[in-house]
Chain A
């Protein structure tokens, strides 16, 4: 190990180039954070009261984004909780099922789902799900929280599933035989041993899915109706923070509207950075939990 460290210190000029590149890209990454924070600080320091209100009526000078915050939260919470339950079900099926070919198909399908562009999801939902809501269930125009949630579930399902799979498969291989010897049925093994064992990591996986749900732009923008109101039910139209950013820039209102935009960006950044760190911590504990 001594000699290894010694050669690390023998810098050639290529090594210098490497470090320069790293510093440049590190600075670039940092500049993204600094930029967003710098632009949104004035908003938080001076006009907090103006931005954190429920009303969004640019013509009358109301620039509140609380409704959007609430929209984003409800959207992400509902879709994550549903996707999480479905993911647990799929995961248990993958582990327990005897039909390996079915499992293989399911897993490759999930991998494939992870690669589908969200715009395509949005397009398909526009012409499949919305007519269904509109004509058959008679629910107004169909643009609603419900439609966005449906597609978001599809979007974050592969994320959570793949994570869960990675966490539980090694555990299953370790414990299945011992549990069987103790007289557990496979279902009992899954419920009583595997799930409690990696509770924390599973929470981490769910958080990553939540992060993805918060950050997605196209689906809420295309499906949720973009009305700035507090939803009274799942079939009401909402507007998410991400869609808000896209809409305000697209309409180019200028002036105070931009403030709300940077406040929204800041909130999103904080939220996702926090979730990232937390889930990195939680999922990372996986390596401590399972003995090598």
Chain B
């Protein structure tokens, strides 16, 4: 295990410079999007960040809503059904989500939208579906681990259900929900299979729009490790791997710091999530 991390560090460190990110292009011009970058991983970084942001912003609101509802709704049967659906969905292989996106394109092409193609929006949508169960799980656990008296006291003080949820419960459960979000971001960042089937390509430049194809870090690593033609491309793969590793480890360290408190329910949440 340590050997592997050490190996990535050893191979990645020397390649970690401006050349890696921007190739021969001027960094400032590249950052502003004025010149295309062909021999660097800057477009991949931007693509990754864009698709993660899109996916998380798509998934957050429904995910949190699902969690709140799962934790508080009175209808037990519906709750159970949704809970099982969330559970199964959290466990299904990510490639199936890619397959779903892929067949969605086929369907759209066949029916209403003939020029449908793999794109950033589709990838973000599928990623959002992939991470939605994590957010819902985390929110539900965070809310249901709060003491029951909180809600009852709120009701006794004459607050409506919405006020109780919004003013009392959500602020209390913020840490749990945040850690769920971080976990979701981590998952979205590391997942390769989904974006591979729904829109990531090797050479696309900066993401041009929601309906264009894009580059992403994990796919870059995969692509260059499988079909590198020169030492330089191989170095790019190692550099990208190091960048991705740093990114995810930062996210997970933050996550661990968030849940450091000795709270049994919390650690249960995390374990359940990491298993999902």
Contact = CB atoms under 8 A, between A and B. Distances in A.
B103 A36 contact: yes
A158 B186 CA distance: 16
B190 A117 contact: yes
Nearest to A212: B275
A211 B92 CA distance: 8
B221 A120 contact: yes
Given A29-B132, A115-B249, A272 B218 contact: no
B252 A111 contact: yes
Main secondary structure of the interface of A (DSSP, over half): helix
Contacts of A114: 252, 274
Contacts of B190: 115-119
Given A268-B96, A273-B88, A246 B193 contact: yes
Interface string B247-270: 011011000100000000001100
A137 interface: no
Q: Which of A18, A262, A269 has the most CB of B within 10 A?
A: A18
B238 A117 contact: no
Interface string A1-42: 101111111111011001101101110111011011001000
B252 A112 contact: yes
A116 B192 CA distance: 12
A38 to B, nearest CB: 9
| Chain A CB within 10 A, most for which of B3, B8, B86, B91 | B91
B87 A276 contact: yes
Contact of B99 (A8, A208, A222, A245): A245
A208 B92 CA distance: 11
Interface string B51-71: 000000000011101101100
Contacts of A51: none
A208 B275 contact: yes
A154 B1 CA distance: 8
B222 A218 contact: yes
Nearest to A216: B93
Given A29-B89, A35-B103, A116 B161 contact: no
A109 B2 CA distance: 9
Q: How large is the interface on A (under 10, 10 to 19, 20 to 34, 35 or more residues)?
A: 35 or more
Given A10-B160, A18-B68, A272-B91, A115 B248 contact: yes
Interface SS of B by simple majority: helix
A163 interface: yes
Interface stretch (B16-24, B31-39, B151-159, B172-180): B151-159
A113 B166 CA distance: 36
Interface centre among A8, A109, A115, A122 (most CB of B within 10 A): A115
B168 interface: no
B95 interface: yes
A45 interface: no
A261 interface: yes
A237 to B, nearest CB: 15
A154 B245 CA distance: 16
Contacts of A104: none
A39 B8 contact: no
A217 B248 contact: no
A232 interface: no
A12 B275 contact: no
A163 B86 contact: no
Nearest to A114: B274
Contact of B244 (A10, A119, A159, A265): A119
Interface of A: 1, 3-12, 14-15, 18-19, 21-22, 24-26, 28-30, 32-33, 35-36, 39, 108-109, 111-128, 154, 158-159, 162-163, 165-166, 208, 211-212, 214-218, 222, 242, 245-246, 249-250, 261-262, 265, 268-269, 272-273, 275-277, 280
Interface of B: 1, 3-4, 7-8, 11, 61-63, 65-66, 68-69, 72-74, 82, 84-100, 102-104, 107, 129, 132-133, 136, 151-152, 155-156, 159-162, 164, 166, 186, 189-190, 192-193, 196-197, 218, 221-222, 225-226, 237-238, 241, 244-245, 248-249, 251-252, 256, 267-268, 271, 274-275
Given A7-B164, A29-B89, A154-B4, 10 more contacts: A9-B74, A111-B252, A117-B244, A119-B218, A163-B271, A215-B95, A245-B99, A246-B196, A265-B99, A272-B91
